[in-house]
Amino acid sequence: MAARHVVYRCELDRRFRWCGYEPGGADLPVRADTLGRAQQLMASATACSHRYEHTEHSTWEGLWVREALDDRVLEREHTTRVLLEALADARLRARLVALPACPAGGVPVVVGVTGDSVDWIVGQHGGRGALVVAAALTNHRLWWNALLPADRAAGTGLRVRGDLAGLGLDTAEATLDDWMAASDCGNATLLLEQPAVTTPAAMTGSGRPVAEPAQRHHAGR
């Protein structure tokens, strides 16, 4: 089975603060009180040979910063710092929040670093809504583009630079560095036309989302 992307969203106002989902899914099928438990539940709910795991944390209303759980933690932390500094500008926040929401709600902002594969980034897009991709140019300068389906680009106010193929980013070798060289900061990049994505729901026999037993209610991360 092919590799899949799994996202663990932290919602501090929920009893079970961690919810796991696959991009493109309409539901948040896994809920747990700790990240570790959410990972266990997601592993049993979705069968695949390999999964790329990410966490999401809310910054401002409607924006979710997505960080990969990989071996480039320090580099991604640097990008996150530059991103949060840039998001202190209310004008930028307003532009991003106004983009089409993803199926899970809100607009995810992927924390990218040099060398990230474009394929890997595109795999985090569920085919609907916007996925913002961000990278640090310097300690205080941010680059970002919004990845959108062609039918959702109108009305965003962003300049459409082209689609992935037109920018030469539709090969397995293409990296985030190539994307940054091909498209200026603040542009919209269009997805290639893809067949509809069907994500299997991870449901219990009763049809309810997989979740921790009701008696487990302590918070944790």
Same domain membership, residue 168 and residue 87: yes
CB 185 within 8 A of CB 83: no
Helix (H, G, I), strand (E, B) or coil at 201: coil
- In this prediction, residues 185-203 reach a mean pLDDT of 65
For the segment 98-153, what is each residue's pLDDT rounded down to a tens digit? 999 998 899 999 999 999 999 999 999 988 899 999 999 999 999 999 999 998 88
The answer to whether residues 173 and 100 belong to one domain is yes
In a domain, 93, yes or no: yes
The answer to whether residue 17 is domain-embedded is yes
Q: Inform me whether the pLDDT recorded for 205 exceeds 90.
A: no
Task: Give yes or no for a contact between 20 and 26, defined as CB atoms under 8 angstroms apart.
Answer: no
Same-domain status, 72 and 50: no
Domain hosting residue 177, numbered range = 59-193
Question: Do 170 and 131 sit in the same domain of this protein?
Answer: yes
* Same domain flag for 176 and 67: yes
pLDDT higher than 70, residue 167: yes
Residues 31 and 108 in one domain: no
- Looking at the structure, tell me whether residues 11 and 65 fall in a common domain: no
Measured distance CA(173)–CA(118) in Å, rounded: 8
pTM of the predicted structure, to 2 decimals: 0.83
DSSP, collapsed to helix, strand or coil, labels residue 178 as helix
Residues 68, 147, single domain; the answer is: yes
Note the pLDDT tens digit of each residue in 35-90.
999 999 988 877 666 889 999 999 888 999 999 999 999 999 999 999 999 999 99
The answer to whether residue 83 is domain-embedded is yes
Residue 1 lies in a domain: yes
- 126 and 178 share one domain: yes
Mean pLDDT (whole number) for 25-42? 84
